[in-house]
Amino acid sequence: MDRIQLVALLTAIIHLTDTLFYAVRLSGVKTRRLITALSLFQLVALLAGVANMVQAPLLSSIVEKAINAGPAAQQANLQYLLGGIRLIILASSVGTIAAAAVAPIFIFFMNRAVFVYERTGSIPQLLLLLLSPSRIARMSRELSVAFGQRRRSIPARATRRPRPGDAWRRRGRRRGLAAVAGLLLQSRPLPFILLLVHILVVSVWTNGVLAALYAGALLPAYRSTASLLSGIVNGTAAVLANFMLDPVTAVITDQALQGQRDERDMINLTYWMMFTRLLGTILAQPLFIPTVHLVEHLTRMIT
């Protein structure tokens, strides 16, 4: 595994952990212990912190290698660097998809971790209990029952002989499922601007540091200035998130926690945020080069 592949793996871990934060809020609403759930999630967030600490110097070393290759090999190294950055951005999408796929299982274990910690009051005891063979076997059985019961019941229904009126009942059931889906998506819809801002914020965050590093490779004489400009790019996204994104999601979470909103609204919020986060990482691909040009322009203005 070369350095770019390692950075891509670390990026996927970071985005997986960041995406699971939405699931933690849902777990907090389900257990009515939001602060405890967020506190326990910090243990998982340490994984992203370690990955970020390792990722940053690796990225810088890759850029330095491309710059110091000399004029003859510089163009080839820049193309290699660009392809590597595309892979890293793709890894962010993969990490987001993986988080959305494991979110139900993660919520299942997080709910139990919250109640176990409430009983023990100790992180070491919590880890010992959760990692004990008996507890793992018990939670595996509970997980199998929770997620496998429906699958086991499908063949039983399928083998039953058809009865008069089954076709009509199936049409009614389909209409009922459509009504439930419509209720989840349309009863108390999320503001469109919220979803749009989230896509934009994630795409900027995904590109910010990478675009600044690549701009530094294109302007080797001012690479330090270009790299530091990532703070301006990411700062713009942070302002949008703090003013237009975080307050709205916080209010929805508090209302669900207080019983003013149905829990389905929180489920709706969680998976819409995951989906728009995925769209943001996908949008980061076509926006990468324009972001690089923006950082280049700002660098030339400053210098």
Q: How confident is the model at residue 36 (pLDDT cuts 50, 70, 90)?
A: very high
- Separation between Cα atoms, residue 239 and residue 27, nearest integer Å: 27
Establish if 154 belongs to a structural domain: no
In what helix (H) or strand (E) does residue 241 lie, and over which residues does it extend?
none
CA 282 to chain centre: 13
Q: How many CB atoms lie within 10 A of CB 257?
A: 18
How many angstroms separate the Cα of 210 from the Cα of each of 16, 82, 229? 18, 10, 11
Angle, helices 3-31 vs 34-67, to 10°: value is 170
Residue with tokens 């933690």: 24
Confidence (pLDDT) at 131: 82
Establish if 149 belongs to a structural domain: no
- Separation between Cα atoms, residue 15 and residue 252, nearest integer Å: 23
- Separation between Cα atoms, residue 27 and residue 257, nearest integer Å: 11
CA 150 to chain centre: 28
- Please enumerate, as own/partner, the contacts of 241-245 that have beta carbons within 8 Å and a separation of 24 or more: 241/197, 241/201, 244/193, 244/194, 244/197, 245/194, 245/197, 245/198, 245/201
The one-letter code for the residue type at 249 is: T
In what helix (H) or strand (E) does residue 46 lie, and over which residues does it extend?
helix 34-67
Establish if 177 belongs to a structural domain: no
Whether 199 has a pLDDT exceeding 90, the answer reads yes
Q: Which domain holds residue 51?
A: 3-121+191-302
- Rounded to 10 degrees, the C-alpha dihedral 128/97/256/27 comes to -10
- Please enumerate, as own/partner, the contacts of 236-240 that have beta carbons within 8 Å and a separation of 24 or more: 236/204, 237/200, 237/201, 237/204, 237/205, 237/208, 240/197, 240/200, 240/201
Q: How confident is the model at residue 271 (pLDDT cuts 50, 70, 90)?
A: very high
Whether 90 has a pLDDT exceeding 90, the answer reads yes
Whether 159 has a pLDDT exceeding 70, the answer reads no
Nearest partner of 15 among 59, 55, 58, judged by Cα:
55
- Separation between Cα atoms, residue 217 and residue 61, nearest integer Å: 11
pLDDT digits (tens, 9 = 90+) for 161-180: 555 444 434 444 444 444 43
pLDDT digits (tens, 9 = 90+) for 213-259: 999 988 888 888 998 898 888 898 999 899 989 999 999 999 999 98
Establish if 155 belongs to a structural domain: no
**Residue 33, C-beta contacts closer than 8 angstroms, at least 6 positions apart:** 114, 118
Q: Enter the pTM of the model.
A: 0.83
- Separation between Cα atoms, residue 76 and residue 149, nearest integer Å: 55
Establish if 186 belongs to a structural domain: no
pLDDT digits (tens, 9 = 90+) for 66-78: 777 766 677 788 8
Q: How confident is the model at residue 14 (pLDDT cuts 50, 70, 90)?
A: very high
* Total domains, the chain: 1
Confidence (pLDDT) at 50: 87
Confidence (pLDDT) at 188: 61
Establish if 228 belongs to a structural domain: yes
pLDDT digits (tens, 9 = 90+) for 119-134: 888 888 888 888 888 8
Establish if 183 belongs to a structural domain: no
Whether 30 has a pLDDT exceeding 80, the answer reads yes
**Residue 182, C-beta contacts closer than 8 angstroms, at least 6 positions apart:** none
Establish if 139 belongs to a structural domain: no
